[in-house]
Amino acid sequence: MEFKTNSGIWGTMFGVPCIVADNFLKLADEAQIKVLLYLLRNSDRTVSAEDISANTGVSVQQVGDAVLFWQQVNVLSQDASFITSVAPTPIQPLIEQPAAAEIPQPKPNSQPVSNVPPKKSMISPSEISAIVTKDQNIAELFKIAESLLGTLNHAMQNSLIWMFNYLGLKKEVILILLSNCIDINKTNPSYIEKIASEWAEKEINTLEAATSELEKINNSRIFISEIKRIFELRQNPTANQQKFISQWYSAGFSIDLIHLAYEKTVEQINKVSFEYINKILMSWKENGYKTPDDVYNAESEYKKKRRNEASADGFNADKYKMFINNI
């Protein structure tokens, strides 16, 4: 099949660097291409990320990732004060890979890193291509990640390499983490890196440990949802409220017991107060009450004890009535 272009019907045109068509049509994703075309079309004026987002349908976060991608490959200016397109500086085609010594050398993957580096350097597309070619584990990680996330953008490719090579997380652990992030609809590379860093610090680096951690996370998420339901919260808990909820979860309070503390709080002060609920729960814990039945039984015993104390003080209603009638 052959194609022929009729430029006459296009009217005014703008240029696209040849290097983009030669080297990056396959590597760049849809969002990156959209952002670049908009920047090239508006190369005579300064534009903001919001402008780009509004005119391309690409999120502001994706705009930032796309600009960073094109800066890394020298298609856009590195000046962070404004966004403007520049003539590309020649780089070697992707088929001419950089020497092995120029590729960032990974740390051994067998052990997790205890002191996680706070930031990571962005690896260029050509370096990523070389790493994928040389490292079968990275190649397999990319392949499976693409089946989960779709086409991997430059930021996500860097994140996966960073998690594997520099955090020391195993391939299967990273994939479990990705699957969970997809389930909760949080696939931003920054969020995934944050969780990955926490796992590395906790030395969560086996299939069993990762599965156990996710079970704890999911149970905690269910616990918070139940709290929102019984407290009739329309919004997510505040940071202070979340602190109380985490404390209750760690202490092992059941939802039924928290519900009872909530009801007693509303009865007493006619509003929801996490501080008041917490005082009730801590008091019950000190007394060894673990279930609503424990509380009900304790209240029943307390009332019975009060009645017995009143009788022991000498007051007897029947004797009092008899005494009054004899007068």
pTM of the model: 0.50
Query: What residues are paired with 244 via a beta bridge?
Result: none
As a whole number of angstroms, the distance between CA 23 and CA 126 comes to: 10
- Dihedral sign, CA of 304, 305, 307, 311? positive
As a whole number of angstroms, the distance between CA 53 and CA 280 comes to: 50
Q: Domain spanning 14-92 has what CATH number?
A: 1.10.10.10
Enumerate residues 6+ apart whose C-beta is below 8 A from 179: 148
23-51, pLDDT tens digit by residue? 667 667 888 888 888 888 887 778 888 88
User: What integer pLDDT is reported at residue 262 of this predicted model?
Assistant: 94
Per-residue H/E/C for 141-176: HHHHHHHHHCCCCHHHHHHHHHHHHHCCCCHHHHHH
Q: Which two tokens stand for residue 142?
A: 């990319």
Ordered DSSP codes for 86-121: -PPPP---TTSPPPGGGSPPPPPTTS--SS--S--P
CA end-to-end span of the chain: 122
User: What integer pLDDT is reported at residue 159 of this predicted model?
Assistant: 93
Please list the alpha-helical segments (H only) found in 118-251.
125-134, 136-149, 154-161, 171-183, 189-201, 207-230, 239-251
- On the 0-12 / 13-18 / 19+ scale of CB atoms within 10 A, 237 is middle
271 CB neighbour count, 10 Å cutoff: 8
Tens of pLDDT along the chain (327 residues) come to 444 444 454 456 777 877 777 666 766 788 888 888 888 888 777 888 888 888 888 888 888 877 877 776 667 765 543 444 333 334 334 334 444 434 445 444 544 444 444 456 788 888 999 999 999 999 999 999 999 899 999 999 999 999 999 999 999 999 999 998 998 888 999 899 999 999 999 999 998 999 999 888 888 889 999 999 999 888 888 989 999 999 999 899 999 999 999 999 999 888 889 999 999 999 999 989 999 999 999 888 888 887 777 666 555 555 544 433 332
- Contact predicate 289/295, CB 8 Å: yes
User: What integer pLDDT is reported at residue 205 of this predicted model?
Assistant: 92
As a whole number of angstroms, the distance between CA 35 and CA 12 comes to: 20
130-166, pLDDT tens digit by residue? 999 999 999 999 999 999 899 999 999 999 999 999 9
Residue with tokens 């709290």: 227
Give the CB-side neighbour count of residue 7, counting CA atoms within 13 A.
Answer: 4
User: What integer pLDDT is reported at residue 23 of this predicted model?
Assistant: 63
- Dihedral sign, CA of 185, 189, 195, 199? positive
C-alpha Rg value of the chain to the nearest Å: 32
As a whole number of angstroms, the distance between CA 304 and CA 298 comes to: 10
Position 89: which residue type?
A: T
Q: Which two tokens stand for residue 150?
A: 């779709």
As a whole number of angstroms, the distance between CA 247 and CA 193 comes to: 26
As a whole number of angstroms, the distance between CA 250 and CA 243 comes to: 11
